[in-house]
């Protein structure tokens, strides 16, 4: 079981490092609900690069992202075959969906503090000429709140208590369960259909299945992803998941639940296209495991 989780974690760490700028832009678009600083993907990309440079575009939250890769992603992808077997693998789509949802929820629940720290780092705005704190929770013209990743855990615990580290956990669990169910079930099902059609279980099949699964996963999890990010970013005006949902439904258009979908899908599809073939290769050729 450890090798299952390790292989998934390694694959996730490589791909998350490559696509970290897209994750950060998605977070900033989702947090800036009033569109004060970040209005679109292209504008956000140019602004962050102008203010913070390539390092500022690529590195925020990267250590927490690696930690999340080996915990949350490692568990949700690595445990999928074993959970599917536990549920009694009949080859049906329902079993695949239940297995993906279970591993996703488990990984997110355990790793919520890591994901929260990642969001806090990636959600902070750069050093703008205009300083201030906006109702969205974004701050401009300030140094980062936390000196480093370890200090972030300690600061949040000191300021918000143990419960603060699990802020947004219900939305995070829902988001991960939906993403994992959508991704892994569609990946597994696509492979199954293709194999019956005569495809060989190898890199070409893994790549095609991964691209499709990434799109399905992002469509499925995007509303929960937006709510999770709003809660984890530290905005005090949200008391919980239901309160956040009610405020969004009351004051924002329904498409607000898909705010940042472009960069999110633009990250998710290539991430899956790179991640899953790497995970499959590591499983088969480094650790001697079967393909997923």
pLDDT above 70 (res 192): yes
Better pLDDT: 49 or 77 = 77
Does any domain span residue 261? yes
pLDDT above 60 (res 15): yes
Does any domain span residue 215? yes
Does any domain span residue 149? yes
Q: How confident is the model at residue 47 (pLDDT cuts 50, 70, 90)?
A: confident
Write out the residue range of the structural domain in which residue 231 sits.
Answer: 2-286
SS3 146: coil
pLDDT above 80 (res 126): no
User: ∠ CA 36-39-45 to the nearest 5 degrees?
Assistant: 115
Does any domain span residue 291? no
Quick one: tokens of 159? 């300021």
Does any domain span residue 110? yes
Does any domain span residue 180? yes
pLDDT above 70 (res 96): yes
pLDDT of residue 127: 43
Quick one: tokens of 259? 């705010």
Which CATH number belongs to the domain containing residue 116 in this structure? 1.50.40.10
CB 253 within 8 A of CB 287: no
Does any domain span residue 82? yes
Q: How confident is the model at residue 129 (pLDDT cuts 50, 70, 90)?
A: very low
What's the total number of domains in the chain? 1
CB 167 within 8 A of CB 231: yes
Does any domain span residue 292? no
């Amino acid at each position: 079981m450890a090798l299952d989780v390790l292989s998934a974690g390694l694959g996730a760490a490589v791909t998350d490092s490559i696509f970290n700028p897209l994750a950060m832009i998605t977070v900033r678009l989702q947090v800036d609900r009033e569109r004060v600083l970040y209005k679109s993907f292209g504008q956000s990309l140019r602004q962050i690069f102008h203010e913070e440079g390539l390092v500022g575009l690529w590195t925020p939250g990267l250590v927490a992202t690696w930690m999340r890769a080996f915990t949350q992603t490692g568990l949700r992808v690595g445990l999928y075959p074993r959970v599917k077997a536990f549920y009694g693998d009949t080859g049906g789509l329902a079993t695949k969906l239940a297995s993906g949802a279970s591993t996703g929820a488990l990984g997110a629940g355990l790793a919520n503090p890591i994901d929260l720290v990642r969001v806090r780092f990636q959600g902070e705005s750069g050093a703008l000429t205009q300083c201030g704190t906006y109702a969205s929770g974004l701050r401009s013209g300030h140094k980062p709140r936390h000196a480093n990743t370890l200090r972030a855990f300690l600061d949040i615990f000191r300021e918000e208590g143990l419960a603060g580290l699990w802020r947004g956990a219900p939305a995070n669990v829902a988001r991960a369960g939906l993403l994992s169910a959508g991704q892994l079930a569609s990946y597994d099902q696509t492979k199954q259909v293709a194999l019956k059609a005569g495809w060989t279980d190898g890199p070409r099949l893994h790549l095609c299945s991964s691209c499709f699964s990434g799109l399905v996963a992002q469509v499925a999890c995007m509303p929960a992803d937006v709510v999770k990010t709003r809660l984890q970013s530290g905005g005090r005006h949200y008391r919980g998941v239901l309160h956040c949902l009610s405020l969004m439904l009351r004051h924002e258009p329904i498409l607000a639940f898909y705010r940042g979908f472009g960069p999110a899908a633009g990250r998710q599809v290539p991430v899956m296209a790179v991640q899953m073939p790497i995970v499959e290769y590591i499983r088969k050729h480094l650790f001697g495991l079967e393909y997923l």
